[in-house]
């Protein structure tokens, strides 16, 4: 099969790979660039685990071919912390016990990053709407929603028990 050279900027760093045209961005990130923080949950664009930022926009890396995004700026979960310090969103998720098994987590954090860039102080319904395309099987979502509201510096939801 013919291969194609792909140049990307990933988490601020120039990266390149020589890949099959059919190889998904998720697989290139994970296999070729060894950034395994991005997870693949359904490979058909529904669960959102593979969400990354492509030029600032949240996108499904399982439905994107790497060759489609040559030259783009990609941000993955590995790009959120600054020099090993958790960023405010990550810290808010620690404080809220946001996640459990951690598999959906990268996709949620990237989707939330995109949300907060657009709308730094979302309401609870806005958070729920924005995250409705990401599936978590462990938490029932409440702790994640609380984490987003906490990261946004807003008040917590009324029924949060802790």
Shortest distance, position 73 Cβ to other proteins, whole Å: 17
Q: Distance between CA 5 and CA 95 in Å, rounded?
A: 42
Which residues face 88 on adjacent strands? none
Q: Closest Cα partner for 74 from 17, 134, 147?
A: 17
Binding other proteins by CB under 8 A: which of 7, 13, 57, 86? 86
Of the residues 13, 16, 22, 120, which one makes contact with other proteins according to CB under 8 A: 22
Q: Under DSSP, is residue 132 helix (H, G, I), strand (E, B) or coil?
A: coil
Q: Segment 87-116, which members bind other proteins (CB under 8 A)?
A: 90, 93-95, 97, 99-106, 109
Stretch that binds other proteins, among 53-61, 66-74, 112-120, 143-151 (CB under 8 A): 143-151
> DSSP class of residue 29?
I
Q: Which helix (H) or strand (E) holds 60?
A: strand 57-60
**How far is residue 45's CA from residue 129's CA, in Å, rounded to a whole number?**
17
42 binding other proteins? (CB under 8 A): yes
**Sites of contact with other proteins (CB under 8 A):** 1, 20, 22-23, 30, 35-44, 46-47, 49, 76-78, 80-81, 86, 90, 93-95, 97, 99-106, 109, 127-129, 131-145, 157-162
């Amino acid at each position: 099969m013919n291969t194609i050279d792909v140049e990307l900027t990933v988490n601020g760093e120039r990266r390149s790979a020589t890949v099959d045209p059919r190889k998904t961005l998720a697989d290139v990130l994970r296999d070729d660039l060894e950034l395994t923080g991005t997870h693949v949950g359904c490979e058909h664009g529904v669960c959102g685990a593979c969400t990354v930022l492509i030029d600032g926009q949240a996108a499904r890396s399982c439905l994107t071919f790497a060759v489609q995004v040559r030259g783009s700026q990609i941000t993955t979960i590995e790009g959120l912390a600054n020099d090993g310090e958790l960023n405010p969103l990550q810290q808010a998720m620690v404080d809220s016990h946001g996640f459990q098994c951690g598999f959906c987590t990268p996709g949620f954090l990237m989707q939330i990053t995109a949300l907060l860039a657009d709308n730094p102080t979302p309401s609870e319904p806005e958070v729920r709407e924005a995250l409705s395309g990401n599936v978590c099987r462990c938490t029932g979502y409440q702790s994640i929603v609380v984490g987003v509201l906490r990261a946004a510096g807003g008040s917590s939801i009324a029924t949060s028990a802790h």
